[in-house]
Amino acid sequence: MVTGGSSGIGRAICEAFLAEGALVTFTGHRDQAEIEAIATEMGLGADGRRVDAGNSREMDRLLRDVRERHKRLDVLVANAGIGRHARLGTITEAQFDETIPTNLKGVLFATKSAVPLMDGEGSIIWIGSTGGDAPPPGMSVYSGAETALRTMMESISPALDPRPGRRPRARRHRLLPQAESVCRGRARPADAGCGRRR
């Protein structure tokens, strides 16, 4: 399962899994017809769904459906994310309310739903960014969510650790793609690539 798998890093992850023979379900924010077309482009084994990764009920239903259809869930890649470029005077509640559910809430509750479906073994992979370690100007909401994501993983990791005499419930990983350097300083958002969904 890969959230935000219809483009960018998420799509590359899907294609890498498919190349290894995995069955991959991915989510995206585009309309269902476009997502299905992307799945067709990816090839055999890809299944695309229009699901809001920030909506815990939608994600829970999808994860359970994947488990029911395939009899197992091996990997959750929580990749979906939104980054809107806005300096303090221009930040809106709408931007905040769009970013936090997808970048933070959705990751936590997708993980909560996925772990019990992994039958004692699996991988949880959260895609973060260096925006949480070195926040670029004008990305305060995004960077705040990324910082929270890191500390949230540190807090829940003990619950995913192997227990004596038992297989691990899940292996957890946090990947940090390098944020574009042009997101810093005076680069215009359109040039910087800031404000994209992943």
Quote the pLDDT of residue 175: 64
Q: What are the backbone dihedrals phi and psi of residue 86, each rounded to the nearest 5 degrees, phi first? A: -160, 125
Quote the pLDDT of residue 7: 93
Structure tokens at 130: 């260096």
CA distance 52 to 29: 6
Structure tokens at 170: 């899940």
- Residues 6 or more apart whose Cβ sits within 8 Å of residue 149: 103, 104, 107, 126, 128, 132, 174
142 is catalytic: yes
Query: Across the strands, what pairs with 171?
Result: 123
Report all structural domains of the chain as residue ranges with CATH numbers, in order of start: 8-192 (3.40.50.720)
The secondary structure element, H or E, covering residue 123 is strand 123-127
Quote the pLDDT of residue 176: 63
pLDDT along the chain (198 residues), means of 10: 94 96 94 96 96 92 92 91 87 93 92 85 85 84 91 83 53 56 33 45
Residue tagged active-site, from 26, 109, 126, 142: 142
Quote the pLDDT of residue 102: 92
104 to 75, 100, 148: CA distances (angstroms): 19, 5, 7
Quote the pLDDT of residue 171: 55
- Residues 6 or more apart whose Cβ sits within 8 Å of residue 174: 125, 126, 128, 149, 150, 153
